[in-house]
Amino acid sequence: MAAWHSAVRAFNFELAISSLHISCNISRYIPHHHYWSVELPMPRWIRRFPKTVLFVVVLIVCLLFAGWRWGFSSAPATQWETATVERGDVEELVTALGTLEPGDYVDVGAQVSGQLTHLYVDVGDSVEEGQLLAEIDASVQQTQVDAGLAELEALRAQLEQRQAELNLAELQYQRQQRLRDANATSEDAFQSAESNLAITGAQIKVLQAQIRQKQASVEGDQATLGYAKIYAPRSGTVVSLDAREGQTLNANQTTPTLMRIADLSVMTISTEVSEADVHRLSAGMPVYFNTLGNETVRYDSELRQVLPTPEVVNNVVLYTAEFDVANDNGQLMSGMTAQVFFVVNSARDVLSLPMAAVKRAGRGAWKVQVLDSKGEPQDQPVKIGIDNRVRIVIDEGLEEGDVVTLSQASSNVALKKNKDSLPRQGRF
């Protein structure tokens, strides 16, 4: 009550001061014996209820002070983000993107020039080895074959003529030889018959050689004529067509490609691996992948090879790693994108924690923090195993279900920062 009366007396004193006249001496314009007096206006309700006004003011000040003290002296207890030790599988992986291509394919081309008159297959068709795929206009090739056969026939006729001449030359030679033995002919006649026989025999040999040459030429023309009909060199599926009916093909300079036939029962996945990870890969290591269109299905295989020659893309050195996978159900298609995971190391049915929970405790030593009965974090040494950059294997030091701390809750961290940012009290 004494404090209350003191506050009331102080308030009345202030009211008395405010009711005084304030005199202003303006010496430059008014004589010294003249003054202005100004009375400050005051609301009537303050003069009428001074004690009530004072009570309200004191109450507001007390509430503000109490709120200020409570806000900075009653901070909530520290909360921690935690993680639980779980049992499961952990794999150390190298990830990459790959493209699916047929494991074995062949490009079918045209060996003769001409207009593509017939195309009997389309993309996606299954073909058997030896099946007729397309036909090219073979008018020119047929003409060459016919001309060659005619020339060959003429040469054979000449050969028959020379054979008859050879028979006659032999008879004349034998007759001249008998006459010579009987001294009934001249030496010149004998030598002429002998020479005629030799010349006729040589001419026959020339014709025989010409016939063999022409025969080979005709066989070549017939083979070229056969190329006008294009057959499947192997069984498979037509995966692409590069020509259309009516198109003119020119095989004189390069072989025009008509289509590609591939064996889709086995697919090859080619991936690009950075030089930072390629040393972790080796032939025969496990690898699995899934496609972008069906991420729930996993395909397992083994790495076949890493090509030694890199490819530089935007100053990044990439190496090509390849592996094969069976495509018995035909769900894998050429050109699909694969998410590839090379298994560098793996651990099955082990204890693991998030990587953020494990901290270095010294050279070759690691630790985690567990909460005691008071909720305070305490260091716990652990032995670690492999990690996949998300979770790490705990070999010793913890049991399944143990709870460890990750970090202080974000709300408390923010509150601490707000406290640190308040201006200091005092001189500095």
Is 417's pLDDT higher than 50?
no
- Geometric angle at alpha carbon 195, from 194 and 196, rounded to 5°: 95
Is 61's pLDDT higher than 90?
no
CA-to-CA distance for 205 and 32, rounded, in angstroms?
Answer: 161
pLDDT of residue 282: 95
pLDDT of residue 62: 83
pLDDT of residue 270: 96
DSSP code per residue over 222-275: HHHHHTTEEE-SS-EEEEEE---TT-EE-TTTS--EEEEEEEEEEEEEEEEEET
Provide mean pLDDT across the span 208-220. Answer: 94
Is 23's pLDDT higher than 60?
no
Provide mean pLDDT across the span 369-389. Answer: 88
Backbone angles phi, psi at 250, to 5 degrees: -120, 105
Non-local CB neighbours of 121 within 8 Å, separated by 6+ positions:
127, 133, 134, 238, 241, 259
Range with the poorest average pLDDT among 70-74, 123-127, 338-342: 70-74
Q: State the pTM of this model.
A: 0.62
pLDDT of residue 46: 64
CA-to-CA distance for 339 and 95, rounded, in angstroms?
Answer: 7
Neighbours of 333 (CB within 10 A): 14
pLDDT of residue 38: 45
Is 186's pLDDT higher than 90?
no
Q: Are 360 and 366 a contacting pair, CB within 8 Å? A: yes
CA-to-CA distance for 23 and 80, rounded, in angstroms?
Answer: 67
pLDDT of residue 48: 66
Strands 22-24 and 286-291: unpaired
Provide mean pLDDT across the span 64-90. Answer: 75
Provide mean pLDDT across the span 54-70. Answer: 76
Q: Which amino acid is at 220?
A: G
Q: Are 263 and 307 a contacting pair, CB within 8 Å? A: no
Non-local CB neighbours of 131 within 8 Å, separated by 6+ positions:
231, 232
Closest to 369 measured CA to CA, from 404, 395, 324 = 404
**Which contacts of 202-209 are long-range, i.e. CB under 8 A and separated by 24 or more positions?**
203/162, 203/165, 204/159, 204/162, 204/163, 204/166, 207/155, 207/158, 207/159, 207/162, 208/159
Confidence grade of residue 389 (pLDDT, cut at 50, 70, 90): confident
Joined tokens for residue 161: 């003529």
Closest to 81 measured CA to CA, from 361, 413, 322 = 413
CA-to-CA distance for 318 and 278, rounded, in angstroms?
Answer: 9
pLDDT of residue 88: 93
Looking at 42-107, list the stretches that DSSP marks H as alpha helix, in order from N- to C-terminal side: 44-48, 50-73
pLDDT in tens, 304-344: 999 999 999 999 999 999 999 999 888 998 899 999 999 99
The half-sphere exposure of 199 on its side-chain side, counting CA atoms within 13 A, is 9
CA-to-CA distance for 219 and 22, rounded, in angstroms?
Answer: 136
**78 or 110, greater pLDDT:** 110
pLDDT of residue 180: 85
For 288, the 3-state DSSP assignment is: strand
**37 or 131, greater pLDDT:** 131
301 alpha carbon, distance to own chain's centre: 18
Average pLDDT, the chain: 83
Is 28's pLDDT higher than 90?
no
CA-to-CA distance for 421 and 423, rounded, in angstroms?
Answer: 7
Confidence grade of residue 70 (pLDDT, cut at 50, 70, 90): low
